[in-house]
Amino acid sequence: MNRRRLPSEFELIARYLAPLAEGFEGARGLGDDAAVIPPASGFDSVATVDALVEGVHFLGDDPPASIGKKLLRVSLSDLAAMGARPHLYFLTLALSEKTEEAWVADFTSGLAEDQKTYDITLAGGDTVATSGPTTLSLTALGQVPSGKALARSGAGKGDAVYVTGTIGDGALGLAVLNGGCAGLAEAARAHLVGRYRLPEPRTGFGEGLVGLASAAIDVSDGLVADLGHLAEQSGCRATVEAARVPLSEAAEAALGGDRDLLATILAGGDDYELLFTADAAKETQIQSLAGRHGLRVTRIGDTGKGAGVQLLDPQGAPISLGRQGYRHF
Amino acid sequence: MNRRRLPSEFELIARYLAPLAEGFEGARGLGDDAAVIPPASGFDSVATVDALVEGVHFLGDDPPASIGKKLLRVSLSDLAAMGARPHLYFLTLALSEKTEEAWVADFTSGLAEDQKTYDITLAGGDTVATSGPTTLSLTALGQVPSGKALARSGAGKGDAVYVTGTIGDGALGLAVLNGGCAGLAEAARAHLVGRYRLPEPRTGFGEGLVGLASAAIDVSDGLVADLGHLAEQSGCRATVEAARVPLSEAAEAALGGDRDLLATILAGGDDYELLFTADAAKETQIQSLAGRHGLRVTRIGDTGKGAGVQLLDPQGAPISLGRQGYRHF
C-alpha cells in the first residue's frame, strides 16, 4: 500500500489532522486508540453520522475545502434538527489512489475554517486507502439540555409547518453542475452552485427551537420526502401550499424558465434548511428567534388528521410531483 | 442510483439495522436525524473510529457475518486498550454495486451476535452506495470511570511489558489466505485464518487493567510498531526478548517451517491483543485478573531510559526485522 502521492498515515495525521484536534484535550493529540470525553452534567449528547462518496455526493473536481465543509455541515444540520449545540466530531477518510497531499491540505483547511465558524473540534478518526472513490464519513456529537432534544415525532394535529431559508437551491445547483438551467444568468447559476456546495446549517436557530418547536427535521432528502418522514413519525398529515414555499431569486428565475423544475425544487433535496412544526400561537416567538439569527422563516402549511404529505396549488387543488426525493439505492 | 440487487435505503434500515438498535431507546428506532445519549455520572465516554475497506482489510468473499464482527471487534479492541466498557456504536455502510441483500442480512446477523457477546448496541449510522469497493466505518463509544482511561503515554522507566493471548496468528492467517504457509497442517491453517477473521477483543480484561496498567495499546499495526507507539508516547525505550513472545501452536509450527516468518509474527499486525506496561510489583494482581478472564498474559520485556523498541535474541543480542508493521500508504 505504499503510494507515492501521499506521505505516510502517521505523517498525514501529524501534519493535517492533529492540528484540528488541538482545541480538545480529550483527543490526546490523536495519539491514543480513542478519545476521552468527560460527561456534561444537565446535557444529553446527540450523535449523528453522515457519509459522502466521490461521484455520488460530491464531484472529483469540487474544491476540496468545500467538500470538507460540506461533510461537516451536513452533520451539523442534523444536530440543528435535534436542537443540539455542536461539540466534537470523528472523521473517517478512505482516500482514493489518486489523492494528492494538496487535496488533503485543502480539505483540512476547509474543516479548520468551519471548526471556528461552528465551534466544533476534531476528536478522533481513521485514515485508510481505497482502490475506489474517496469515501468520507463523519460522526458529530452535540449537546442539548437533558430530555429536550427535538424529534421528528412530536408534531400535533393543527400545528403550523415552517421552513428556514429558501428551498430548492441545492438541487438546482447540482442541476447546473450537470449542465442544466443553461438559460440562467451567471450570477444566479453561481448562487445555486454555491448553495449546493456549501449548505448553511441552522445550528444556532435550531438550539433556539428547543421548547418552541413540536417536531423538526432537516431537509436533506427533499422537502416532500422529509416532511413525509416527519408526518409519518408524528402520526399526522401535512399539507403544504406550494406557492408559499420560499424560493431564492435564482430559483425563481430558474422556475420561470422551466415550470417542470418545481419537482426538483420541492423534492430534490440538499437544502439543509430546518423544517419544523409548532403551535401556531408561537408565531411571534419563532419570528423573533429568526430575527435574532438573521434568518427567514416561512410558514408553508399545517398538520392535521390523516397521513402523508399533500401539496396544494393556489386554488387549493392537489399537485402531484413526479418523484419523491433522492434515494441512494 | 436505483439498483436491482438491494431494497431501498429505508427498507434496508427497517429490515436489518433498526432491529440492532432496539436495545437503546436513544436511537429512537433510527427514525431521527441523530441519537440521544444521556450522560453517565462518574464516567467519561471513550470514542474510537475504525474503517475497513474491501480488498484492503477484508476480502470480497470473506463470510459477511465475520466482516461485521471484525469491524465491531477492531473498535472494541481500541476500547479495551483504554480500559473502557462497550456502550454504543454508529455505523457507516458504503455498499459496492455488487452488494446483494443476502450480504447485508448475513453482515448484520454477525453484528447482532456480537452485540450480545460484548453488550453493545447500534445507536445510529448512514447507508450509501459507492461505485468502488464496500467501505465500512464504525464509531464505538465506551465508558470508563472518570479520569481513569488508560493511555499509551503512562509507562514509567523500569515497568514490565506484557501482552495478552498469542502474537502473530492474525498476520499468519492473512498469509494463509494469500496462499502462504502451504506446508502447514489443515487444522493449523484454519486456526490462523480464524484468528485473522475473528479477533477476540480483550474488553473485560481491559476494564480490569484500570488502576493496574501504566500504559496500554492494542496490537493492530504489529507488536513492534505498536510497542514503538507506546514507547514514543511514554518517552521511554522498550526492550523485548523475542523468545518470550507467546505463540500459538499453529504459529510455532509455521515458524518451525520458515524462520523468516518471525518478521510476520512480530511486525505483521491484526493481533488485537492488549500490549501494556505495569509496575513489576503488580505481577500477582495482573495474573489473577488474567485468570479470572481465562486469558494468558505474558511478560515479554521491560521499559527503560532511551527511545524506540529493541528486540533481543536468547543470548541478549539485538535482532533486526525487515519491516516495521503495516502502513496504509
Asked if B223 and B162 touch (Cβ cutoff 8 Å), the reply is no
What's the pLDDT at A322?
A: 60
The more confidently predicted of residues A32 and B245 is B245
B241 touches chain A (CB under 8 A): no
Residue in B closest to A274 by C-alpha: B33
B127 neighbourhood in chain A, CB within 8 Å:
328
CA–CA separation, A126 and A116 (whole Å): 22
For chain A, domains (ranges, CATH) are 9-145 (3.30.1330.10), 160-319 (3.90.650.10)
Q: Is this complex's ipTM strictly greater than 0.85?
A: yes
> What distance in Å separates residue A306's CA from the closest CA in chain B?
19
- Give CA–CA dist B13/B8, Å, rounded: 9
Amino acid at A191: H
Instruction: Give the residue, B3 or A192, on which the prediction is more confident.
Output: A192
Chain B residues lying within 8 Å of A218, measured CB to CB: 33
The answer to whether B50 contacts A149, with C-beta atoms less than 8 Å apart, is no
Say whether residue A274 is in contact with chain B using an 8 A CB cutoff: no
Cβ atoms of residues A110 and A5 within 8 Å: no
Distances (CA, A) of B174 to A153, B57, B62, B264: 47, 10, 12, 10
Q: Which candidate, A266, A158, A154, A291, places its Cα nearest to that of A214?
A: A154
Q: Is any Cβ of chain A less than 8 angstroms from the Cβ of B50?
A: yes
CB-count burial class (<10 Å; 0-12, 13-18, 19+) for B186:
exposed
CB contact under 8 A, A34 and B46: yes
Contacts of A217 in chain B (CB under 8 A): 33
Alpha carbons A137 and A51: distance in angstroms, whole number: 4
3-state DSSP assignment of residue A115: helix
Taking the Cβ of residue A153 and every Cβ of chain B, the question of whether any pair is shorter than 8 Å is answered with yes
Q: Which residues of chain A are within 8 Å of residue B35 when distances are taken between CB atoms?
A: 46-48
Q: The whole model's pTM is what?
A: 0.91
CB contact under 8 A, A329 and B46: no
Please judge whether A92 and B7 are an interchain contact, meaning their C-beta atoms are less than 8 angstroms apart: no
C-alpha cell at A183: 438559460
pLDDT in tens, B192-237: 999 998 999 999 999 999 999 999 999 999 999 999 999 999 999 9
Cross-chain CB nearest to A329 (options B9, B32, B57): B9
Distances (CA, A) of B315 to B162, B163, B300: 21, 22, 15
Grid cell for residue B89: 456504536
In angstroms, the CA B245 to CA A218 distance is 54
- Between chain A and chain B, the number of residue pairs with CB atoms below 8 A apart is 242
Q: For residue B59, what pLDDT band results from cuts at 50, 70 and 90?
A: confident
Which chain A residue's Cα is nearest to B152? A32
**Model confidence at B328: pLDDT above 70:** no
The C-alpha atoms of residue A199 and residue A192 are separated, in whole angstroms, by 10
Contact state of A34 with B130 under an 8 Å Cβ cutoff? no
* B90 with A139: Cβ contact below 8 A: yes
Average pLDDT, chain A: 93
Nearest CA-CA distance, residue A127 and chain B, Å? 8
Residues in chain A: 329
Give the separation between CA A327 and CA A199, rounded to whole angstroms. 19
Q: By the CB < 8 Å criterion, does A314 face chain B?
A: no
Q: Report CA torsion sign: B195, B198, B200, B201.
A: positive
Backbone angles phi, psi at A214, to 5 degrees: -90, -25
Query: Please, which pLDDT band fits residue B4 given cuts at 50, 70 and 90?
Result: low
Residues 104-143, chain B: which have Cβ within 8 Å of A?
123-133, 135, 137, 139, 141-142
**Beta-strand pair B135-145/B43-53:** antiparallel
Helices within chain A (DSSP H only): 9-12, 64-81, 101-118, 169-177, 186-197, 203-208, 223-234, 249-257, 261-267, 283-292
Give the chain A residue whose CA is nearest to the CA of B144. A36
A306 at B interface, C-beta within 8 A: no
For chain A, positions 199-228, list CB contacts with chain B under 8 A. Answer: 217-218
3-state secondary structure of B61: coil
Asked if pLDDT for residue A326 goes beyond 50, the answer is no
Q: How many CA atoms lie within 13 A of A266 on its CB side?
A: 27
User: Which residue of chain B is at minimal alpha-carbon distance from A78?
Assistant: B33
pLDDT tens-place string over residues A107-155: 999 999 999 999 999 999 999 999 999 999 999 999 999 999 999 999 9
With residues binned 3-state (H G I as helix, E B as strand, rest as coil), the percentages for chain A, rounded to 5, are 40, 25, 35
C-beta atoms of B90 and A28 within 8 A = no
* A34:B2 CB<8 A: no
pLDDT in tens, B275-320: 999 999 999 999 999 999 999 999 999 999 999 999 999 899 998 8
Give B157-186 pLDDT, tens digit per residue: 999 999 999 999 999 999 999 899 989 999
pLDDT tens by residue, A298-312:
999 999 999 999 999
Full DSSP string of A212-269: T-SEEEE-SS-HHHHHHHHHHHHT-EEEEEGGGS---HHHHHHHHH-TTHHHHHHH--
Q: What is the DSSP string of B243-273?
A: GGS---HHHHHHHHH-TTHHHHHHH------
Nine-digit cell at A285? 416567538
The DSSP symbol for B84 reads P
